[in-house]
């Protein structure tokens, strides 16, 4: 259920910040056509922190209906509160999500013992499989490999999205029996080659076909071809990091004509100093460099 290229989908919005449902459906259809194996609804890239429960519900309902079993629908349900995470995960299950992606609690900085207790409580209550999500650059807490492997003994915890760019860590997790999904685009090719079974990607928002192809090349054992394809997107990876995600990727998708310009406070539109660089990249992605 969790393999290959999974897009951490943006939430398209009108200039006033309201959700553009027509654009949401178009994006889902595009990713299906380009070979994405799954979509994350209401993850970090989808601006989960500013979505209301009603908006979360509507986005997930639309995604489940539009996808209709043709790719996995992963709901971002993690929060800083264990009780709230359990409630959101239960809602996702009722709405038909295939999996729950549960990020480590941010701001309150739990210990490793606290993380064990948090994830076990969520997994005990969940009616869908749970995917751990470790992204210490955002949450200020690192889910250490030994903690992740201890959690892997829980029958309802099926994988980890690991955003630490360390192929040795990926290899250790895989060798310990925990399936890994890369959560870091610049290092995802090496993570895949080290044993990760897929990637939850921001870059796949703009190059879904090539990300699907990258995963296929690794699966086929074509490491040199995978690295060559990945190297073509060094500038994209760099651009997507010039401001906080999803500011650059939403700006780029707007420049490419896929979505409107809307984004929600406290995030604001991309600073003008990056526009020329972004326009050049958007032109290149619409041209022969892109395989989508």
Q: What is the DSSP string of 26-44?
A: HHHHHHHHHT--EEEESST
Given the residues 3, 107, 133, 167, select the one marked as catalytic.
133
The reported pLDDT for the residue numbered 286 is: 78
Asked whether the beta carbons of 211 and 202 are under 8 A apart, the reply is no
Look at residue 275 and tell me if it is in a domain. Answer: no
Question: What pLDDT is recorded for position 291?
Answer: 32
Q: How many domains does the chain fold into?
A: 1
Residue 288 in domain: no
Alpha-carbon distance values, 72 to 60, 69, 183, 194, 264 (Å): 12, 7, 17, 23, 27
pLDDT of residue 148: 98
Question: Domain holding 217: CATH number?
Answer: 3.20.20.70
- The residues, any chain, with a CB within 8 Å of residue 106's CB and separated by 6 or more, are 80, 138, 139, 140, 141
Active site residue 133: yes
Tell whether 54 is covered by a domain: yes
User: What is the C-alpha to C-alpha distance for residues 130 and 36, in angstroms, rounded to an integer?
Assistant: 20
Which of 54, 65, 132 is closest to 88 using CA atoms? Answer: 54
Q: What parts of the chain have a pLDDT lower than 50?
A: 288-292
Return the axis-axis angle of helices 208-219 and 185-193, rounded to nearest 10°.
20
- Residue 237 catalytic? no
For the chain, helix, strand, coil in percent to 5 are 50, 15, 40
Range of the domain at 167: 4-224
* Residue 180 belongs to some domain of the structure: yes
In a domain, 292, yes or no: no
Is residue 90, in this structure, part of any structural domain at all? yes
Domain-located, residue 27 = yes
Residue 147, domain member (yes or no): yes
Spot the catalytic one: 161, 211, 233, 250. 161
What are the angstrom distances between the C-alpha of 119 and each of 4, 73, 75, 112? 25, 20, 16, 11
């Amino acid at each position: 259920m969790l393999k290959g290229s999974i897009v951490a989908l943006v939430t398209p919005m009108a200039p006033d910040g309201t959700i553009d449902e027509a654009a949401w459906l178009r994006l889902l259809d595009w990713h299906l056509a380009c070979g994405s194996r799954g979509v994350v609804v209401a993850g970090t890239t989808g601006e989960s922190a500013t979505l209301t429960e009603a908006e979360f519900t509507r986005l997930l309902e639309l995604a489940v209906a539009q996808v209709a079993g043709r790719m996995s629908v992963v709901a971002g349900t993690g929060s800083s509160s264990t009780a709230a995470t359990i409630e959101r995960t239960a809602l996702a299950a009722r709405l038909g999500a295939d999996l729950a992606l549960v990020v480590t609690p941010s701001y309150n900085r739990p210990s490793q013992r606290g993380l064990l207790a948090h994830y076990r409580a969520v997994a005990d209550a969940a009616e869908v499989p749970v995917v751990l999500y470790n992204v210490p650059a955002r949450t200020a807490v690192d889910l250490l490999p030994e903690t992740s492997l201890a959690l892997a003994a829980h029958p309802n915890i099926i994988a980890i999205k690991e955003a630490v760019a360390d192929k040795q860590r990926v290899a250790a997790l895989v060798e310990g029996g925990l399936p890994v999904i890369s959560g870091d685009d610049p290092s995802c090719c090496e993570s895949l080659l080290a044993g990760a079974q897929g990637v939850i990607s921001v870059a796949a928002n703009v190059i879904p076909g090539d990300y699907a192809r990258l995963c296929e090349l690794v699966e086929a054992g074509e490491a040199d071809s995978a690295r060559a394809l990945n190297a073509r997107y060094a500038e994209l990876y760099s651009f997507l990091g010039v401001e906080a995600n999803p500011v650059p990727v939403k700006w780029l998708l707007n420049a490419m004509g896929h979505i409107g310009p809307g984004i929600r406070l406290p995030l604001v539109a991309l600073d003008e100093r990056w526009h020329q660089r972004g326009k050049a990249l958007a032109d290149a992605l619409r041209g022969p460099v892109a395989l989508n």
